[in-house]
Amino acid sequence: MEACFANAANSAITSPANVFAYLIQTLLTAQYNLSDGIYPPDRSEEVATSNGEFDFVIVGGGSAGSVLANRLTEIENWKVLLIEAGENPSILSEVPTAFHSQLHSSEDYSYDVEPEKFACHGNKNKLCKWSKGKALGGSSTLNAMLYVYGSDKDYNEWSQMGNKGWSYDEVLPYFKKSQSCGHGHSDEWRSKYCGNGGPLSIRYYNYSETKIHETVLQAAREMGVPILDTINGDKFVGYGIAQGTLDKGHRVSASKAYLSPIKYRNNLYVMKSTRADAILLDNTRAVGVRMTLKDGRSIDVKASKEVILSAGSIASPQLLMLSGIGPKKHLREIGIPTIVNLPVGKNLQDHVTWYGLHLTFKNQTATPPSPTFMLDAAYDYLIHNRGPLASGSFDLMGFINVHDPSAKYPDIQFINGHIPQWHISIATNLFDAHNVDTEIVQKITEILTQADMLNFFTILLKPKSVGEIRLRSRNPTDPVRIYANYFSEQEDLDTMLKSLDFLKKMLNTETFKRHEFRLHHIDIPDCRHIKSDSDEYWRCNLRHMSSTIFHPVGTTKMGPQDDPTAVVDPHLKVHGVQRLRVIDASIMPTITGGNTNAPTIMIAEKGADLIKEDWAKTSCEREMSLNT
């Protein structure tokens, strides 16, 4: 137990966690059963010394890789290796409200984005930072846990682009396959949109701020905005409360859902703290992976059937390009011989967010937090799995079409976050996690000395602007160059600014007037010369107070053989390379209209079935040829 406490302390010190996060982590460590021994053991040394061959080598143990490792090892005679650069998720990752404390920690790659012309100017050094999980479970260990499909139009669009098998009706069964849904909805909805036998728990948060939720929902009703019984259904415009990947007040990461139940499967080999450096190729056939172990040793492992990249929208294209699969011109610049010329790293899409819209209201019942607030919250969470630490701080969301209120599909997503008066540490933790400049954070927190704050985090759902991932060098330890290109298309900027019109209409509802809501104009140093509430001010506000919601996709685009912009085919096989697939969010041709973790898990569920079908067909053909 003493060692257990020591590990918790070391983790807290190396993360940006404050006293609050350290307190919770220490108390959770006292319940040591939360994470100790629930994940598969590290078999790195066994693999390194055996010189064995595997049927499948999966690079990346995140949301997609965890699913694939589970589903492929269902075939008992398939030997599967899963390579993960991180370790087991920390104990702190269990706590829903603590996810911001994990950002920029040892569990986060925390990439720097190249300077943006139209966004992120209010961040430290005027740079966006992209978080990505570095642990078993990947980003599902440090995301906001929100579980959102998107709309049927998202997937039907994929299908219309030539991706047979990827329409909404064809992918919905794979969403359901992953799920174990909670109660609270009609049997009709559950049978159509939610699964019951899967490993991934989908629940409402154990603690939700019902008063502020109901106030916003009532204002939406006044405006004629539909109220959604569920976020994932047949209605896509409206306001509602989202579910998350949760169970009994705890996070359910992909690793906990998919790897923990199979941790002792004999045909599953997991290597942790192991970096993949290159795909081993025999001409244009993938035969294995070169990797570096924690102690610096470099080893090669062979794959008799397939190599599968599930390292995400940043690392999967990086590994392809390091291996000579990518844009010929760019690879030549880096000094890498081109094996297959493909548009790897192109088509980068992300959900840019505007965090500069803050409403304030006077909460007549507000009281300063008690000196024992943190201890009380910790007790409530540890004993009853409820309270502020189990909070769905961002589970109230709206999907709105700001150009056409009668449209079936949204173009803007609002995620509402309530910060009570005097709870300055919550705001500081939140905006520090998004790399916001210290002076601007101070201006935001000053609001909380006078009133409660309701944030409208505004997300552009279907951006026209496209970015790119490029290599920095031939060295696999060098981070890639990320060009997000937010608002490079004028239409994106116009749509984001128009979301302000919706908010101002909500301010004019009787509900918001009764609670004396008002729109606060943040004192941004570079915008002080501009008249408040002018169009110019809000453009300046958006340019400074915009960042990412951590949803990069599209960098190994899925498309048919005749699509010159595609990297993988509809079976997720890399064009021009045998026995190599990419199965993660990077294959999305276009970004989905909502949070991207649920679609990523769906992609992996479907990808696993595609692999099984392809190899069953191969086996059948081989057997037929032997019998003729």
Active site residue ranges: 551
Say yes or no: 316 and 200 in one domain: yes
Structural domain includes residue 64: yes
Domain final residue, candidates 519, 534, 550: 550
* Residue 436, amino acid: V
User: Is the predicted pLDDT of residue 349 greater than 90, yes or no?
Assistant: yes
E strand or H helix that includes residue 470? strand 468-470
Say yes or no: 121 and 169 in one domain: no
Structural domain includes residue 586: yes
Say yes or no: 489 and 508 in one domain: yes
Structural domain includes residue 112: yes
What is the chain's percent helix, strand, coil content, to nearest 5?
35, 20, 40
Structural domain includes residue 248: no
pLDDT tens per residue, range 133-175: 999 999 999 999 999 999 999 999 999 999 999 999 999 999 9
User: Is the predicted pLDDT of residue 15 greater than 60, yes or no?
Assistant: no
Confidence of residue 620 (pLDDT cuts 50, 70, 90): low
Is 628 exposed, middle or buried (CB count within 10 Å of its CB: 0-12, 13-18, 19+)? Answer: exposed
Does the pTM of the predicted model rise above 0.85? yes
E strand or H helix that includes residue 510? helix 510-514
Put residue 554 in one of left, alpha, beta given phi > 0 → left and psi -120 to 50 → alpha.
Answer: left
* The token pair that represents 402 in the structure block: 């700001």
Say yes or no: 572 and 508 in one domain: no
CB atoms within 10 A of CB 625: 8
- How far, in Å, CA of 189 to CA of 239, rounded? 18
Is 619 exposed, middle or buried (CB count within 10 Å of its CB: 0-12, 13-18, 19+)? Answer: exposed
* Residue 463, amino acid: P
Among 376, 238, 323, residue whose Cα is nearest residue 576: 323
pLDDT tens per residue, range 562-600: 999 999 999 999 999 999 999 999 999 999 999 999 999
Structural domain includes residue 96: no
Say yes or no: 44 and 157 in one domain: yes
Residue 257: DSSP 8-state? I
- How far, in Å, CA of 404 to CA of 237, rounded? 11
Least confidently predicted of 264-268, 284-288, 422-426, 442-446? 422-426
Confidence of residue 21 (pLDDT cuts 50, 70, 90): low
Confidence of residue 27 (pLDDT cuts 50, 70, 90): low
- How far, in Å, CA of 372 to CA of 524, rounded? 34
Helical ranges in 51-107 per DSSP H: 63-72, 99-102
Say yes or no: 486 and 623 in one domain: no
Say yes or no: 315 and 426 in one domain: no
pLDDT tens per residue, range 524-559: 999 999 998 899 999 999 999 999 999 999 999 999
User: Is the predicted pLDDT of residue 8 greater than 50, yes or no?
Assistant: no
Structural domain includes residue 94: no
Residue 109 backbone phi and psi in degrees, to 5 = -65, -30
- How far, in Å, CA of 601 to CA of 584, rounded? 8
Instruction: Provide the domain count of the chain.
Output: 3
Structural domain includes residue 99: no
**Contact by Cβ (8 Å): 553, 355:** no
Torsion of CA 609, 615, 618, 620, to 10 degrees: -80
Domain final residue, candidates 519, 550, 581: 550
**Contact by Cβ (8 Å): 192, 235:** no
Pairing mode, strands 358-361 and 518-520:
antiparallel
Question: What is the dihedral sign for C-alpha 427, 430, 432, 438?
Answer: negative
Say yes or no: 311 and 269 in one domain: yes
Say yes or no: 281 and 331 in one domain: yes
Region 263-289: mean pLDDT is 98
Say yes or no: 454 and 309 in one domain: no
Structural domain includes residue 101: no
- Residue ranges making up the domain that contains 576: 35-89+137-204+253-346+554-627
**Contact by Cβ (8 Å): 260, 418:** no
pLDDT tens per residue, range 459-494: 999 999 999 999 999 999 999 999 999 999 999 999
- For every residue of 425-463, DSSP letters joined together read HHHHHHHHHTTB-HHHHHHHHHHTTTSEEEEEEEEESS-
* The token pair that represents 492 in the structure block: 């994106």
- How far, in Å, CA of 434 to CA of 144, rounded? 13
| Cα–Cα–Cα angle for 190, 191, 194, rounded to 5 degrees | 50
Say yes or no: 304 and 162 in one domain: yes
Domain final residue, candidates 550, 574, 596: 550
Give the 3-state DSSP-derived string for 199-236, with helices as H, strands as E and coil as C. CEEEECCCECCHHHHHHHHHHHHHCCCCECCCCCCCCC
CATH of the domain at 286: 3.50.50.60
How high is the mean pLDDT of the chain? 91
CATH of the domain at 468: 3.30.560.10
Say yes or no: 463 and 497 in one domain: yes
C-alpha 588: how far from chain center: 14
